[in-house]
Amino acid sequence: MKLEVSELTALFQDYKGAADDPITIRMIMTDSRKKARQSLFVPIVGESFDAHDFIKGAIENGATATLWQKDKPVPHLVPTDFPVFFVEDTTKALQDLAHYYLKKIDPVIVGVTGSNGKTTTKDMVAAVLRTKFNTHKTQGNFNNHIGLPLTVLSMETRTEAVVLEMGMDRAGEISVLSKLAEPDYAIITNIGESHIENLGSREGIAKAKLEIRDGLTGPCIMDGDEPLLSEALQQEGAVSCGFHQGLDYVAEIQQLSDDQTTFTVNGDTYELPMAGRHNAKNASYVIALAHKLGISHEQIQQGFGQIEASGMRFEKHEGKNGALIINDAYNASPTSMKAVIEIIRNLTSKSKKVLVLGDMYELGEKSEQLHAGVAEAIDPEIDAVYTIGVHSKQITDAVERNSSGIETAHFTEKKALSHHIQSNLTEDTVVLIKASRGMKLEELLDDLVN
């Protein structure tokens, strides 16, 4: 990024210090412990911390100006010429600054949300847009009310397109992000069960995801197979994608392999270097967007071949004894867990298939029912199912009721689970690790991977 301190005087008119001097800001600092030369320090106030307390470290580590909550006294250690911009709320001011910077750079803005697949879809969108535009995208999990403005404010000034992932825990949160970003295009990948504890029902989740339209200035590309979006798809600017005939963009699977999905969309053939039927649908959203932006079939295919996937999403590792370990432990919901189990069922490179599944969070009073429902995706193609946690035991219990011949075991400690898995690793084994982020099941990799 590049901003002059003097630009902030129009946004934040209550200030002191040398705010009119030619001082350049090249990054945002929210962690005063990290060196960040020519940075604007934004002290975030949380439930258990107040970063205003760390202004001394921020200045020592390169801050050249700061936003400052009006009711907080400015310490005497702050130099008199140090630019301080007084605001009611530093988080809201950060969002206002990001909105200003988006207007200044004026890229094509794409917002992506959904219960599952939004990060993968974001990565696909960015890869395809890079064939035509200088493109910036959300990194990691920077998709909330703080992460999204930080993503925006890390854009280079030459950015031509930005892909912003929009996440949420509660109603109203995506509305804030959409109004901040004012996307030119939006994608809603699907409606699942994530955060049903806070939103009450899938209907509540759908309503929350549709908030992405609150700041939208152009088309909304949506899951045409989802009945809960049928009304929204009748509105002007809606674009439907999915597997059902009659949608605007219809995906049809041609061939599935361990590492590739070949499919058509409206008759044109594409190859995706990812396994899974659900990824063909994710790709159909990208194709619909690409057509809106005048990106050719050849460029779309080129982009699909250059996808930079975010971490812990179907990461493949060489395990002990030649086994294949797949780390998909970034997060989980019933929908995403079933989808990745389907991929494992269809794998042809390994004959022994082991599922290691942990708890899925924020499912509320339906948690036991939704965990048990995962067993619907588990058939005799799977050799073993090991679970860990509290609610995940519902999965192994349901598998035991529904299927014979599948080994099952439930664990309460990772070390015991790890030892059990290691004793079963062979050259013909594939192990899937999948759970909600808070379970930290990626810690199993240390014992399972060479």
- pLDDT the model gives residue 382: 97
Among 306-320, 408-422, 424-438, the range scoring the smallest mean pLDDT is 306-320
Q: How many CA atoms lie within 13 A of 20 on its CB side?
A: 2
Poorest-pLDDT segment among 64-73, 302-311, 335-344, 407-416: 302-311
For residue 10, pLDDT over 90 is answered with yes
- The token pair at 7 is 């630009």
- Give the CATH number of domain 3-88; options: 1.20.1250.20, 3.40.1390.10, 1.10.3720.10, 3.10.330.10: 3.40.1390.10
Q: What is the CATH number of domain 315-448?
A: 3.90.190.20
pLDDT higher than threshold 80 for residue 446? yes
The DSSP string of 32-48 is TTS--TTEEE---B-SS
The pLDDT of residue 404: 78
Helices 277-292 and 334-346, interaxial angle, to 10°? 110
Instruction: Tell me whether residue 352 is exposed, middle or buried, using C-beta atoms within 10 angstroms of its C-beta: 0 to 12, 13 to 18, 19 or more.
Output: middle
How far is 223 from 309, CA to CA, in rounded Å? 21
* pLDDT tens readout for residues 340-380: 999 999 999 999 999 999 999 999 999 999 999 999 999 99
Indicate if the pLDDT at residue 311 is higher than 80: no
Q: What residue ranges do the domains of the chain occupy?
A: 3-88, 106-304, 315-448
**pTM of the complete model:** 0.92
**Homologous superfamily assigned to 106-304:** Mur-like, catalytic domain (3.40.1190.10)
pLDDT for residue 118 = 94
Q: Is a pLDDT exceeding 80 seen at residue 312?
A: no
